[in-house]
Structure formats: structure tokens, C-alpha cells
Amino acid sequence: MNGMLDTVTSEILEVLPAGVMLADETGAVFYANRAALEYMGIDRDGLKEINVEGMIRQTSGKKDLMFRTRDRERITVRLSKIPLSNGCSAVILTDITEIHRLQQELLKMDKLATVGELTSGIAHEIRNPLAGIKTTAQALKEEMPENDHRAAYVTRIIIETDRLNKLLLSFFDFAKPKDLSIRTCDLKKVIEDAVFMVQDGARQNHVQIMEFYPPGTVRVQADSDMLQQVFMNICINAVQAMQSGGRMEVHLADRGPAVEISVKDTGKGIPENIRSRIFDPFFTTKPKGIGLGLSISYRLIKMHSGSITFVSGPQGTTFVVTLPKEVAI
Ligand SMILES: Nc1ncnc2c1ncn2[C@@H]1O[C@H](COP(=O)(O)OP(=O)(O)OP(=O)(O)O)[C@@H](O)[C@H]1O
Ligand SMILES: [Mg+2]
């Protein structure tokens, strides 16, 4: 320990829940308390390598850095440099991991809201003329003689307008999510119904489905339609990720005040470079995808105060949804 610090001061510094480092005029660190070492994932020997001038640009005096602690945990730390009267400087390290995470989440919500407003505006403008096209086509078809070969063309127009209309409706859903209609629901049934809806697709892709439920009924306070949509979106993605066969496992676990639902596939996995974007609206890697499945699911789960995460590797992907049994709204 350096002579510049008396025993009491250093004792206090050691138990302080914030990181403190002291550096000389050249930026070389001659002291770091326990929290600082913990944040940076180094021991006292590692201090020799550290120069605060290199870490913090003098102009701003503040910087956020990512560190990996010794437990390999990723944390975000804010460094603030304070010049001291003797030419030395103190650097305060604050763990802002949680703040950083919340900021990212807010940004994501903000982005969703903006896209939502935009799409609902456009969708609305398109729906009216579309309705006009459909009505006109229907009138035309009715006036055609029964054996007119051109009737097939008109039918095509009607089918395509219906398809467009359906697409626009999904945009509306995205832009203005319905209000939550919270009721006590049997989660096992909600999941079973969602899985049932993907059975055809699974059969086509030679995907085997396995469901694991705890004994008894698992009841949650939730909007069952919304939850069913979420699990369907996740299961559809899982099946689509296994074009040449595989296995999808659905697990439901009762965790006391919360429940955990995981959907595991043995598909191609999610490449690392796109992992941060899969919840973004309109992000898709599929030729016929819209890229709304996960962003809608994310929003619906947030409305239930739950969370949705995933892990992915070459063996496949697992999506995990956690929901509180009771929702506070
Ligand atoms: N289980 C999974 N395995 C591999 N990739 C996945 C999986 N789930 C999602 N993805 C990736 O995330 C992207 C976004 O998924 P999302 O459900 O939001 O949109 P989409 O499936 O492409 O289109 P949409 O759901 O609107 O039809 C997908 O295009 C795919 O690249
Ligand atoms: Mg999808």
C-alpha cells in the first residue's frame, strides 16, 4: 500500500462498493481498491499494465468501458477522472451494467414505437384504395358471363388483395397492440394450442416435436391470445430453422412466482453477427419473412412484465420466455 494513504482511509476504500484508483502524473496506477480490481477482472499485479491516460481521454474526463470480471461476467463500468491537487488523479469506477441494459431496452422500445407509428400511417393509406380495388374486381367478376376465361384473372386480383390486406392487418397489430385482457389461464393449454398450430409445418420439415410439462395445472394471469401468438411465433421460427429435419422441444417449468417456457430446436442456429438484431422490426433473413414475429413477441412479453432471451450455437437455438404468474398493471 502506498504511503499516501493512511490506514483508516485505505480501510474505507477497500469496503467501498465503488471502484477507486489513484494514478500519478503520468497516469500510472499506484493504487486500486478491491471493487476496482473486481470490475476490471485483474489482481494487483495486473495494475502495472494500466495507464488511466490511455483509458480516459483527458477532454471529457468520463468514459464507459466494458470489462469481463474474473467470473467471466460482462459488465459496463463508467470511469470518471478527478484531478487531485498534488498532480495525481483519482478515477472512480461505477458499475452501470444495469443502467446500460435499461438504456438499450428503452432504445429498442423507442424504435418499436416509431416504426409502429410509421407503419400504421402507411397501412391505413393503403387499405382504403385496396378495398376499392377488391370491390371493383368483385363487381367485375359478377358481371362476367360464367364461362368467361378472364374470370380467373379477376379471381387472382381478389386473392392478392386479400393477401395484402392480411399483411396490413399484421402491421396494425404491430402498431397498435390491443389492450391486455388479463385472465387466469392454463398455460399448458396455451402452449399446447400454439404447438398444435405448427404441427403441419413440422411434419413437412420432418421435425419431431416433444413437449415436457410439469404435473398438474400451471395457472398464470395473462392474455392467453397474446401468449399463444408469442409461442406460435417462436415455434414457427424453430421449425423454419430446421429445413432438413430435427427436433423441437418445448419445456414448461414452474418457478414459484414465475414460469419459464423454453423452445429448443436443433436447427442451424443464429449467426453471431445478427444476434443483436433479431428482435428489430422488419429484420429477417428469410426470403418470404416479414421480420415481425420476434419484435411483436418481444413487445407482448414486455407487456406481461416478462422477459424473452435466447442462446444459440451450431447445435441449435433455445428461446426462453419467463413470465410472472401475476401481472401488475
Ligand atoms: N430458432 C431460430 N433459429 C435460427 N434463426 C432464428 C430463429 N428464430 C429467429 N431466427 C432469426 O431471426 C430472424 C427474425 O425472426 P422473426 O420471427 O422476427 O422474423 P421472420 O421469422 O424472419 O419473419 P416473420 O416472423 O415476420 O414471418 C429470422 O429471420 C431468423 O434469421
Ligand atoms: Mg418468424
Query: Which residue ranges make up each domain of the chain?
Result: 7-95, 100-175, 183-324
Q: Tell whether the model's pLDDT for residue 279 goes beyond 60.
A: yes
Model's pTM, two decimal places?
Answer: 0.65
Please report, for residues 72, 155, 281, the alpha-carbon distance to residue 275 in angstroms, rounded to integers and kept in the order given. 20, 42, 13
Distance CA 224, CA 190 (A): 6
Percent of the chain with pLDDT over 70: 95
pLDDT computed for residue 3 by the predictor: 58
Please report, for residues 98, 221, 316, the alpha-carbon distance to residue 12 in angstroms, rounded to integers and kept in the order given. 25, 47, 49
Distance CA 29, CA 100 (A): 26
Instruction: Say which ligand is closest to the CA of 288.
Output: 1
Q: Tell whether the model's pLDDT for residue 201 goes beyond 70.
A: yes
Residue 82: enclosing H or E segment and its boundaries? strand 74-83
Question: Which ligand 1 atom is at minimum distance from the Cα of 292?
Answer: 26
Q: Establish whether domains 7-95 and 100-175 are of one fold.
A: no
Instruction: Say which ligand is closest to the CA of 278.
Output: 1
Distance CA 145, CA 165 (A): 28
Query: Ligand 2 center to residue 233 CA distance, Å?
Result: 5
CATH topology of domain 7-95: Beta-Lactamase (3.30.450)
Q: Who has greater pLDDT, 123 or 239?
A: 239
H helices present in 176-313, as ranges: 187-197, 199-204, 224-240, 293-303
Query: Ligand 2 center to residue 71 CA distance, Å?
Result: 35
Percent of the chain with pLDDT over 90: 52
Among 43-57, 162-176, 209-223, which range has the highest average pLDDT?
209-223
Characterise 302 by phi-psi region: left (phi > 0), alpha (psi -120 to 50), beta (else). alpha
- Cβ-based neighbour number of residue 229 at 10 Å: 18
- The burial class, CB within 10 Å (0-12 / 13-18 / 19+), for 133 is middle
Q: Tell whether the model's pLDDT for residue 28 goes beyond 50.
A: yes
Nearest Cα to Cα of residue 66 among 57, 54, 74, 55: 74
Q: Which CATH number fits domain 183-324: 1.10.3720.10, 3.20.20.10, 3.30.565.10, 3.40.50.2300?
A: 3.30.565.10
Record the cell numbers describing residue 308, joined without a space.
Answer: 424473452
Extended strands (E) in 115-206: 183-186
pLDDT computed for residue 1 by the predictor: 45
Query: Ligand 2 center to residue 285 CA distance, Å?
Result: 10
Q: What is the mean pLDDT of residues 1-10?
A: 70
Distance CA 164, CA 176 (A): 18
Query: If you classify domain 100-175 with CATH, what class do you get?
Result: mainly alpha
